[in-house]
Protein backbone atom coordinates (compact mmCIF):
# COMPACT_ATOMS: atom_id res chain seq x y z
CA UNK A 1 0.00 0.00 0.00
CA UNK A 2 2.95 2.25 0.66
CA UNK A 3 4.50 1.32 -2.66
CA UNK A 4 3.19 4.37 -4.50
CA UNK A 5 4.84 6.68 -1.92
CA UNK A 6 8.19 5.35 -3.07
CA UNK A 7 7.90 6.80 -6.58
CA UNK A 8 7.33 10.25 -8.05
CA UNK A 9 5.52 10.36 -11.35
CA UNK A 10 6.90 12.68 -14.03
CA UNK A 11 6.06 13.50 -17.63
CA UNK A 12 4.15 11.24 -19.98
CA UNK A 13 6.49 9.16 -22.13
CA UNK A 14 4.00 7.57 -24.43
CA UNK A 15 0.62 6.03 -24.92
CA UNK A 16 -0.08 2.41 -25.80
CA UNK A 17 -3.22 0.44 -26.56
CA UNK A 18 -4.06 -0.22 -22.95
CA UNK A 19 -1.76 2.02 -20.96
CA UNK A 20 -0.18 5.42 -20.57
CA UNK A 21 3.49 5.38 -19.71
CA UNK A 22 5.14 8.01 -17.51
CA UNK A 23 8.68 8.73 -16.49
CA UNK A 24 9.22 8.38 -12.74
CA UNK A 25 11.92 8.27 -10.13
CA UNK A 26 12.51 6.97 -6.64
CA UNK A 27 11.53 9.56 -4.02
CA UNK A 28 14.64 8.75 -1.98
CA UNK A 29 16.94 8.52 -4.98
CA UNK A 30 15.92 10.98 -7.71
CA UNK A 31 18.58 9.69 -10.10
CA UNK A 32 16.96 6.25 -10.18
CA UNK A 33 14.60 6.50 -13.12
CA UNK A 34 11.69 4.16 -13.73
CA UNK A 35 8.82 3.86 -16.20
CA UNK A 36 5.36 3.93 -14.62
CA UNK A 37 2.80 2.19 -16.76
CA UNK A 38 -0.73 3.15 -15.84
CA UNK A 39 -3.18 0.57 -17.12
CA UNK A 40 -6.45 1.85 -18.52
CA UNK A 41 -8.96 -0.26 -16.65
CA UNK A 42 -11.98 -1.24 -18.70
CA UNK A 43 -15.38 -0.27 -17.28
CA UNK A 44 -16.56 -3.89 -17.20
CA UNK A 45 -14.03 -4.74 -14.52
CA UNK A 46 -14.87 -2.03 -11.98
CA UNK A 47 -14.91 -4.27 -8.94
CA UNK A 48 -11.37 -5.39 -9.36
CA UNK A 49 -8.40 -5.05 -11.58
CA UNK A 50 -8.61 -5.80 -15.26
CA UNK A 51 -7.81 -9.45 -15.92
CA UNK A 52 -5.22 -8.43 -18.53
CA UNK A 53 -3.48 -6.27 -15.97
CA UNK A 54 -3.47 -9.00 -13.36
CA UNK A 55 -1.92 -11.34 -15.88
CA UNK A 56 0.75 -8.83 -16.78
CA UNK A 57 1.83 -8.56 -13.17
CA UNK A 58 1.75 -12.17 -12.20
CA UNK A 59 3.87 -13.21 -15.09
CA UNK A 60 6.27 -10.32 -14.90
CA UNK A 61 6.88 -10.60 -11.18
CA UNK A 62 7.70 -14.25 -11.46
CA UNK A 63 9.98 -13.94 -14.46
CA UNK A 64 13.39 -12.64 -13.55
CA UNK A 65 15.78 -12.83 -16.49
CA UNK A 66 18.27 -10.42 -18.13
CA UNK A 67 16.25 -10.39 -21.36
CA UNK A 68 12.87 -9.79 -19.75
CA UNK A 69 11.86 -6.34 -18.53
CA UNK A 70 11.77 -6.28 -14.74
CA UNK A 71 8.75 -5.25 -12.76
CA UNK A 72 9.93 -3.25 -9.74
CA UNK A 73 6.59 -2.62 -8.10
CA UNK A 74 2.82 -2.62 -8.54
CA UNK A 75 0.30 -0.29 -6.93
CA UNK A 76 -3.19 0.98 -7.57
CA UNK A 77 -3.89 4.69 -7.63
CA UNK A 78 -6.98 6.34 -6.10
CA UNK A 79 -8.84 6.17 -9.42
CA UNK A 80 -8.54 2.35 -9.16
CA UNK A 81 -6.02 2.30 -12.00
CA UNK A 82 -3.22 -0.18 -11.84
CA UNK A 83 0.33 1.16 -11.97
CA UNK A 84 3.28 -0.99 -12.96
CA UNK A 85 6.73 0.33 -12.12
CA UNK A 86 9.12 -1.01 -14.71
CA UNK A 87 12.78 -0.72 -15.55
CA UNK A 88 13.30 2.51 -17.49
CA UNK A 89 14.51 1.64 -20.97
CA UNK A 90 14.81 4.90 -22.90
CA UNK A 91 16.82 3.72 -25.90
CA UNK A 92 13.84 2.63 -27.94
CA UNK A 93 13.07 -0.74 -29.40
CA UNK A 94 14.14 -3.03 -32.21
CA UNK A 95 11.45 -1.67 -34.52
CA UNK A 96 13.09 1.77 -34.44
CA UNK A 97 16.46 0.27 -35.37
CA UNK A 98 15.02 -1.91 -38.14
CA UNK A 99 13.16 1.04 -39.67
CA UNK A 100 16.03 3.52 -39.53
CA UNK A 101 17.67 2.11 -42.64
CA UNK A 102 19.64 5.31 -43.35
CA UNK A 103 20.75 5.97 -39.77
CA UNK A 104 21.42 2.50 -38.33
CA UNK A 105 23.66 -0.04 -40.00
CA UNK A 106 23.85 -3.59 -38.67
CA UNK A 107 25.00 -6.98 -39.90
CA UNK A 108 24.75 -10.73 -39.42
CA UNK A 109 26.69 -10.73 -36.12
CA UNK A 110 24.36 -8.08 -34.65
CA UNK A 111 21.26 -9.98 -35.75
CA UNK A 112 22.68 -13.11 -34.14
CA UNK A 113 23.22 -11.25 -30.86
CA UNK A 114 19.68 -9.81 -30.83
CA UNK A 115 18.14 -13.14 -31.81
CA UNK A 116 20.12 -14.87 -29.05
CA UNK A 117 18.69 -12.49 -26.46
CA UNK A 118 15.15 -12.90 -27.80
CA UNK A 119 15.46 -16.69 -27.93
CA UNK A 120 16.76 -16.88 -24.35
CA UNK A 121 13.87 -14.67 -23.18
CA UNK A 122 11.30 -16.89 -24.86
CA UNK A 123 13.00 -20.06 -23.69
CA UNK A 124 12.77 -18.73 -20.13
CA UNK A 125 9.08 -17.81 -20.52
CA UNK A 126 8.24 -21.24 -21.90
CA UNK A 127 10.28 -23.07 -19.23
CA UNK A 128 8.10 -21.21 -16.74
CA UNK A 129 4.87 -22.10 -18.56
CA UNK A 130 4.23 -18.55 -19.75
CA UNK A 131 3.28 -17.70 -23.31
CA UNK A 132 4.11 -14.14 -24.29
CA UNK A 133 1.65 -13.99 -27.21
CA UNK A 134 2.67 -10.61 -28.60
CA UNK A 135 6.26 -10.84 -29.75
CA UNK A 136 7.13 -8.14 -32.26
CA UNK A 137 10.04 -5.75 -32.79
CA UNK A 138 8.18 -2.95 -30.97
CA UNK A 139 8.00 -5.06 -27.79
CA UNK A 140 11.75 -5.63 -27.71
CA UNK A 141 13.17 -2.72 -25.74
CA UNK A 142 16.85 -1.84 -25.64
CA UNK A 143 18.73 -1.24 -22.37
CA UNK A 144 21.67 1.15 -21.98
CA UNK A 145 24.15 -1.75 -21.99
CA UNK A 146 22.71 -3.07 -25.27
CA UNK A 147 20.68 -5.85 -23.70
CA UNK A 148 17.37 -6.48 -25.51
CA UNK A 149 14.44 -6.96 -23.13
CA UNK A 150 11.10 -8.50 -23.90
CA UNK A 151 8.31 -6.19 -22.72
CA UNK A 152 4.56 -5.83 -22.81
CA UNK A 153 3.28 -8.90 -21.08
CA UNK A 154 -0.31 -7.65 -21.38
CA UNK A 155 -1.36 -10.75 -23.25
CA UNK A 156 0.93 -13.17 -21.49
CA UNK A 157 -0.71 -16.10 -19.79
CA UNK A 158 0.16 -19.40 -18.33
CA UNK A 159 -0.27 -22.47 -20.44
CA UNK A 160 0.04 -24.82 -17.50
CA UNK A 161 -3.46 -26.08 -18.25
CA UNK A 162 -3.25 -27.35 -21.83
CA UNK A 163 -6.96 -28.15 -22.05
CA UNK A 164 -8.15 -24.71 -21.21
CA UNK A 165 -9.77 -23.01 -24.19
CA UNK A 166 -7.87 -19.90 -25.18
CA UNK A 167 -8.79 -16.98 -27.34
CA UNK A 168 -7.28 -16.99 -30.82
CA UNK A 169 -7.55 -13.22 -31.19
CA UNK A 170 -4.07 -12.57 -29.85
CA UNK A 171 -0.75 -11.52 -31.38
CA UNK A 172 -0.50 -8.54 -33.70
CA UNK A 173 -1.67 -9.78 -37.11
CA UNK A 174 1.67 -9.69 -38.97
CA UNK A 175 3.30 -11.94 -36.36
CA UNK A 176 0.30 -14.24 -35.86
CA UNK A 177 0.84 -17.93 -36.68
CA UNK A 178 -1.42 -19.91 -39.00
CA UNK A 179 -2.98 -21.98 -36.17
CA UNK A 180 -4.36 -18.79 -34.60
CA UNK A 181 -5.51 -17.40 -37.97
CA UNK A 182 -7.41 -20.68 -38.43
CA UNK A 183 -9.05 -20.23 -35.02
CA UNK A 184 -7.27 -22.93 -32.99
CA UNK A 185 -8.44 -22.88 -29.36
CA UNK A 186 -5.67 -25.07 -27.94
CA UNK A 187 -2.24 -23.79 -28.70
CA UNK A 188 1.27 -23.86 -27.36
CA UNK A 189 4.59 -22.10 -27.16
CA UNK A 190 4.81 -22.66 -30.90
CA UNK A 191 2.72 -19.47 -31.35
CA UNK A 192 5.60 -17.43 -29.91
CA UNK A 193 8.17 -19.28 -32.02
CA UNK A 194 6.38 -18.26 -35.23
CA UNK A 195 6.53 -14.63 -34.09
CA UNK A 196 10.22 -15.02 -33.21
CA UNK A 197 10.81 -16.33 -36.75
CA UNK A 198 9.10 -13.29 -38.23
CA UNK A 199 11.20 -10.95 -36.07
CA UNK A 200 14.28 -12.81 -37.38
CA UNK A 201 13.09 -12.43 -41.00
CA UNK A 202 12.36 -8.72 -40.45
CA UNK A 203 15.78 -8.08 -38.89
CA UNK A 204 17.36 -9.52 -42.05
CA UNK A 205 15.25 -7.82 -44.72
CA UNK A 206 14.50 -4.68 -42.62
CA UNK A 207 10.82 -4.69 -43.52
CA UNK A 208 7.96 -6.81 -42.13
CA UNK A 209 8.01 -10.12 -44.01
CA UNK A 210 4.23 -10.67 -44.10
CA UNK A 211 2.29 -7.46 -43.55
CA UNK A 212 -1.34 -8.47 -44.05
CA UNK A 213 -4.10 -5.84 -44.10
CA UNK A 214 -6.73 -8.31 -42.87
CA UNK A 215 -6.75 -11.83 -41.47
CA UNK A 216 -7.68 -13.26 -44.89
CA UNK A 217 -4.83 -11.30 -46.47
CA UNK A 218 -2.48 -12.57 -43.76
CA UNK A 219 -3.39 -16.19 -44.58
CA UNK A 220 -2.81 -15.45 -48.28
CA UNK A 221 0.63 -14.00 -47.54
CA UNK A 222 1.58 -17.09 -45.49
CA UNK A 223 0.45 -19.37 -48.34
CA UNK A 224 2.59 -17.34 -50.76
CA UNK A 225 5.68 -16.98 -48.58
CA UNK A 226 5.76 -20.42 -46.92
CA UNK A 227 3.27 -22.66 -48.76
CA UNK A 228 -0.39 -23.64 -48.45
CA UNK A 229 -1.31 -25.61 -45.31
CA UNK A 230 -3.02 -28.93 -46.15
CA UNK A 231 -3.64 -32.34 -44.59
CA UNK A 232 -0.33 -33.63 -45.98
CA UNK A 233 1.95 -31.00 -44.47
CA UNK A 234 -0.22 -30.43 -41.37
CA UNK A 235 -2.50 -33.32 -40.37
CA UNK A 236 -5.75 -31.99 -38.89
CA UNK A 237 -5.46 -28.44 -40.23
CA UNK A 238 -8.61 -28.68 -42.35
CA UNK A 239 -10.65 -29.36 -39.17
CA UNK A 240 -9.69 -26.03 -37.57
CA UNK A 241 -12.74 -23.75 -37.19
CA UNK A 242 -11.66 -21.05 -39.63
CA UNK A 243 -9.58 -23.05 -42.09
CA UNK A 244 -9.80 -21.52 -45.57
CA UNK A 245 -6.97 -21.21 -48.03
CA UNK A 246 -6.75 -19.55 -51.45
CA UNK A 247 -6.76 -21.48 -54.74
CA UNK A 248 -4.60 -22.63 -56.35
CA UNK A 249 -2.49 -24.08 -53.51
CA UNK A 250 1.25 -23.39 -53.37
CA UNK A 251 3.86 -26.05 -52.58
CA UNK A 252 6.01 -25.56 -49.47
CA UNK A 253 8.96 -23.34 -50.36
CA UNK A 254 12.34 -25.03 -50.44
CA UNK A 255 15.66 -24.01 -48.93
CA UNK A 256 16.77 -22.22 -52.12
CA UNK A 257 13.90 -19.77 -51.83
CA UNK A 258 14.90 -18.86 -48.25
CA UNK A 259 18.58 -18.64 -49.22
CA UNK A 260 17.60 -16.18 -51.96
CA UNK A 261 15.68 -13.92 -49.58
CA UNK A 262 17.59 -14.36 -46.29
CA UNK A 263 21.00 -15.47 -47.52
CA UNK A 264 22.79 -12.75 -45.54
CA UNK A 265 21.94 -14.75 -42.39
CA UNK A 266 24.16 -17.54 -43.75
CA UNK A 267 23.12 -21.15 -44.42
CA UNK A 268 22.83 -22.01 -40.69
CA UNK A 269 20.78 -18.90 -40.03
CA UNK A 270 18.46 -19.78 -42.92
CA UNK A 271 18.12 -23.31 -41.55
CA UNK A 272 17.04 -21.99 -38.17
CA UNK A 273 14.65 -19.48 -39.74
CA UNK A 274 12.98 -22.20 -41.82
CA UNK A 275 12.42 -24.30 -38.68
CA UNK A 276 10.65 -21.42 -36.90
CA UNK A 277 8.33 -20.91 -39.86
CA UNK A 278 7.05 -24.49 -40.19
CA UNK A 279 3.28 -24.39 -40.69
CA UNK A 280 2.35 -27.32 -38.43
CA UNK A 281 2.89 -26.05 -34.86
CA UNK A 282 3.77 -29.58 -33.70
CA UNK A 283 6.68 -29.70 -36.15
CA UNK A 284 7.88 -26.16 -35.48
CA UNK A 285 11.16 -25.88 -33.57
CA UNK A 286 10.91 -25.20 -29.80
CA UNK A 287 12.80 -22.48 -27.94
CA UNK A 288 14.98 -25.10 -26.27
CA UNK A 289 15.82 -26.67 -29.65
CA UNK A 290 16.54 -23.22 -31.07
CA UNK A 291 19.20 -22.70 -28.38
CA UNK A 292 20.87 -25.95 -29.43
CA UNK A 293 21.08 -24.92 -33.09
CA UNK A 294 24.50 -24.73 -34.71
CA UNK A 295 23.89 -21.18 -36.02
CA UNK A 296 24.91 -19.68 -32.65
CA UNK A 297 28.37 -21.24 -32.76
CA UNK A 298 29.02 -20.80 -36.49
CA UNK A 299 30.75 -17.66 -37.78
CA UNK A 300 30.25 -14.80 -37.36
CA UNK A 301 30.09 -14.89 -33.57
CA UNK A 302 27.31 -12.75 -32.07
CA UNK A 303 28.29 -9.14 -31.37
CA UNK A 304 28.99 -8.34 -27.68
CA UNK A 305 26.02 -6.45 -26.29
CA UNK A 306 28.09 -3.33 -25.50
CA UNK A 307 29.10 -3.12 -29.17
CA UNK A 308 25.65 -3.44 -30.71
CA UNK A 309 24.32 -0.59 -32.86
CA UNK A 310 22.11 1.93 -31.06
CA UNK A 311 19.65 4.48 -32.33
CA UNK A 312 21.40 7.56 -33.72
P1 LIG B 1 3.07 0.21 -27.16
O2 LIG B 1 3.60 -1.17 -26.99
O3 LIG B 1 1.79 0.28 -27.91
O4 LIG B 1 4.10 1.19 -27.63
P5 LIG B 1 3.28 0.69 -24.32
O6 LIG B 1 2.16 0.96 -23.42
O7 LIG B 1 4.08 -0.53 -24.05
O8 LIG B 1 2.61 0.69 -25.72
O9 LIG B 1 4.28 1.91 -24.33
C10 LIG B 1 3.96 3.17 -24.82
C11 LIG B 1 5.24 3.99 -25.00
O12 LIG B 1 5.83 4.27 -23.73
C13 LIG B 1 6.33 3.26 -25.76
O14 LIG B 1 6.24 3.45 -27.13
C15 LIG B 1 7.60 3.88 -25.19
O16 LIG B 1 7.88 5.10 -25.84
C17 LIG B 1 7.24 4.18 -23.77
N18 LIG B 1 7.68 3.11 -22.85
C19 LIG B 1 7.04 1.96 -22.56
N20 LIG B 1 7.71 1.22 -21.66
C21 LIG B 1 8.84 1.91 -21.38
C22 LIG B 1 9.98 1.68 -20.51
N23 LIG B 1 10.07 0.58 -19.75
N24 LIG B 1 10.94 2.61 -20.48
C25 LIG B 1 10.87 3.73 -21.23
N26 LIG B 1 9.84 4.00 -22.06
C27 LIG B 1 8.83 3.13 -22.14
Rounded to the nearest angstrom, the distance between the alpha carbon of 43 and the centre of ligand 1 is: 23
State pLDDT tens for residues 202-259: 999 999 999 999 999 999 999 999 999 999 999 999 999 999 999 999 999 999 999 9
Rounded to the nearest angstrom, the distance between the alpha carbon of 21 and the centre of ligand 1 is: 6
Q: Closest Cα to atom 6, ligand 1: which residue?
A: 16
Q: What is the DSSP string of 197-234?
A: HHHHHHHHHSS-S---SSHHHHHHHHHHHT----TTTS
Q: What is the DSSP string of 122-172?
A: HHHHHHTTEE-----GGGEEE-TTS-EEE--GGG-EE-S-TTS---S--S-
Four-point Cα dihedral 306, 308, 309, 310, nearest 10: -50
Of 7, 10, 12, 13, the residue with max ligand 1 atoms within 8 A of its CB, to mutate for a pocket test, comes to: 13
pLDDT tier at 126 (50, 70, 90 boundaries)? very high
Q: How many CB atoms lie within 10 A of CB 186?
A: 12
Annotation says 52 is catalytic = no
Q: Closest Cα to atom 4, ligand 1: which residue?
A: 16
pLDDT tier at 297 (50, 70, 90 boundaries)? very high
Mean pLDDT of all residues in 266-293: 98
Q: How many CA atoms lie within 13 A of 43 on its CB side?
A: 0
pLDDT tier at 312 (50, 70, 90 boundaries)? confident
Q: Please give the ipTM for the structure prediction.
A: 0.94
The per-residue pLDDT of the chain, averaged, comes to 90
Atom of ligand 1 nearest to the CA of 90: 25
Of 44, 37, 31, 26, nearest to 86 by C-alpha is: 37
Pocket of ligand 1 from Cβ distances under 6 Å = 13-17, 19, 21, 35, 86-90, 138, 141, 152
Mean pLDDT of all residues in 297-305: 97
pLDDT of 46? 47
CA 32 vs CA 23, 24, 26, 85, 229: distances in Å:
11, 8, 6, 12, 51
Mean pLDDT of all residues in 41-59: 57
Least confident window among 1-15, 171-185, 217-231: 1-15
pLDDT of 154? 59
Rounded to the nearest angstrom, the distance between the alpha carbon of 254 and the centre of ligand 1 is: 38
The pLDDT > 90 percentage for the chain reads: 73
Asked if the model's pLDDT at residue 44 lies above 70, the reply is no
Is the backbone of residue 308 left (phi > 0), alpha (psi -120 to 50) or beta?
beta
pLDDT tier at 77 (50, 70, 90 boundaries)? confident
pLDDT tier at 99 (50, 70, 90 boundaries)? very high
Give the Cα separation of 55 and 50 in Å (integer). Answer: 9
**Is the CB of residue 270 less than 8 Å from the CB of residue 258?**
yes
Backbone φ and ψ for 112, nearest 5 degrees, come out as -65, -40
Q: What is the largest CA-CA distance in the chain?
A: 66
State pLDDT tens for residues 140-157: 999 999 999 999 875 555
Amino acid sequence: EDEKQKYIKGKKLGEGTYANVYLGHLRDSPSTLVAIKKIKVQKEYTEGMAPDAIRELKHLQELSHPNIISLLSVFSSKDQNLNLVLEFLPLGDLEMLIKDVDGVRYGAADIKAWMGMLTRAIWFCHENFVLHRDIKPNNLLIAADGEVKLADFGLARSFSDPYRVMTSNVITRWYRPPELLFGAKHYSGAVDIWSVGLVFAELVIRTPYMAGDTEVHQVNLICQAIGTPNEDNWPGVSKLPEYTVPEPPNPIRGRDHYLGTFGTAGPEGVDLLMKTLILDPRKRITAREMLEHKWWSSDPKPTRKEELPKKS
